[in-house]
């Protein structure tokens, strides 16, 4: 387990490790009114993201109501597929998105080093106390929390720890997402392997125990809610989704604590809609947009937005949490995926 220091410095420490202490980062000195006037002539902003669709749709309604004439469009998929799309478009010579927001915090310093991200420090950054790249290339926009879901109709025998999931009594009862597709799962795997000290033998035990590997974290929530598997490793936010309002899902915080992970966002340097992209970027960091995250079970990055209803404050959670070591993840991200593929195949 870790203290909160790793989480509080995740984007900063990654940036320092990659030599991104660029001076003279662009400041957001334009007013929202000026940005809006410029954005209307572009007509839309496009986000490449792994943020769930139900949150994106709520943001779109709020954004388009506040800024008529500027549409919010998005390509949404698992982190792996989003990053693959960005790499394919980069190879083809033209990125068609304006903003990237995925769960893989290790992708951003590499993007910045390649010159793919603009340096854009906005007034909203003053309300985000952690996870800010010194060069201005990316900033934490949300804090995801990985926990265990349990279907209370299928079991009352809840695991007390992450390690318990590999116990023989849970054989054929556990589901989790693919670390190839889901960036948040790759972070959780890294945290369990390295920071919780369970290592790869733990995942071999899960495999031998018949763990069901699904494509993405939403699929795990559905599997648990339906009773297909009574236990699953996923994110707190899916307990708050409308379709699970009356479902028998219980969130279990293991004794080692939840796995906390910072999820940064960045603005593409050669955005097709640069002004609309900046407008959307600032909107997503606004109090209004961050409150949407909190409503849906995600810890907001802003210090003036409350924690999700029913969850303890972030400061309290950090005292007993697994907070993946950002430097270790940068150094071992590809190895983690390779190990996963060799073990599970997908």
Mean pLDDT is lowest, of 38-52, 56-70, 239-253, for 239-253
What is the pLDDT at residue 28? 54
**So what's the pLDDT on residue 155?**
92
pLDDT at 250 over 50: yes
The pLDDT of residue 77? 93
Task: Specify the pLDDT at position 245.
Answer: 83
Question: Is residue 340 helix, strand or coil?
Answer: helix
- pLDDT score of 16: 36
User: What is the spatial distance between Cα 299 and Cα 142, in angstroms, rounded to a whole number?
Assistant: 6
pLDDT(10) > 70: no
Burial class (CB in 10 A: 0-12, 13-18, 19+), 264: buried
pLDDT at 29: 58
Residue 18 clears pLDDT 60, i.e. is over it: no
Question: Which domains are present in the chain?
Answer: 5-142+262-318 (3.40.190.10), 144-259+325-341 (3.40.190.10)
> What's the pLDDT at 284?
98
Rounded to an integer, the average pLDDT of 149-164 is 96
Would you state the pLDDT for residue 113? 93
Q: What are phi and psi of 63, to 5 degrees?
A: -65, -45
Mean pLDDT (whole number) for 274-296: 97
Average pLDDT, the chain: 90
pLDDT recorded at residue 106: 87
Range 165-176 burial, b when 16+ CB lie within 10 A, else e: bbeeebeebbbb
Indicate the pTM of the whole model. 0.86
Whole-number pLDDT of residue 198: 96
Confirm if 159 and 117 have CB atoms less than 8 A apart. no
Pairwise pLDDT comparison (344 vs 326), residue with the higher score:
344
Judge whether residue 25 has pLDDT over 60: no
Task: Write down the pLDDT at residue 14.
Answer: 39
């Amino acid at each position: 387990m870790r203290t909160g220091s790793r989480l509080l410095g995740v984007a900063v420490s990654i940036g320092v490790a990659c030599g991104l202490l660029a001076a003279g980062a662009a400041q957001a000195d334009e007013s929202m009114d000026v940005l809006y006037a410029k954005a209307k002539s572009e007509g839309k902003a496009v986000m490449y993201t792994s943020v769930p669709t139900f949150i994106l749709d709520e943001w779109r309604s709020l954004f388009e109501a506040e800024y008529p004439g500027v549409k919010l469009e998005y390509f949404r998929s698992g982190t792996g597929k989003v990053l693959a799309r960005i790499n394919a478009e980069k190879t083809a010579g033209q990125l068609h998105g304006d903003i990237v927001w995925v769960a893989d915090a290790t992708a951003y310093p590499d993007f910045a080093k390649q010159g793919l991200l603009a340096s854009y420090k906005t007034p909203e950054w003053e309300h985000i106390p952690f996870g800010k790249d010194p060069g201005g290339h990316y900033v934490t926009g949300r804090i995801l929390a990985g926990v265990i879901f349990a279907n209370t109709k299928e079991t009352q025998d809840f695991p007390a720890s992450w390690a318990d999931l590999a116990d023989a009594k849970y054989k054929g009862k556990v589901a989790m997402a693919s670390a190839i597709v889901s960036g948040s799962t790759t972070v959780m795997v890294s945290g369990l392997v390295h920071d919780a000290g369970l290592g790869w033998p733990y995942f071999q035990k899960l495999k031998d125990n018949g763990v069901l590997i699904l494509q993405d974290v939403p699929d795990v929530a559905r599997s648990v809610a339906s009773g297909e598997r009574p236990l699953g490793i996923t994110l707190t936010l899916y307990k708050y989704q409308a379709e699970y309002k009356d479902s028998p899902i219980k969130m279990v915080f293991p004794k080692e604590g939840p796995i906390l992970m910072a999820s940064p966002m960045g603005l593409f340097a050669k955005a097709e809609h640069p002004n609309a992209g900046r407008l959307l970027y600032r909107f997503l960091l606004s109090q209004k947009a961050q409150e949407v995250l909190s409503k849906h079970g995600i810890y907001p990055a802003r210090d003036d937005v409350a924690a999700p209803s029913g969850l303890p404050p972030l400061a309290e959670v950090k005292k007993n949490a697994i907070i993946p070591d950002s430097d270790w993840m940068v150094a071992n991200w590809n190895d983690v995926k390779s190990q996963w593929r060799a073990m599970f195949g997908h």
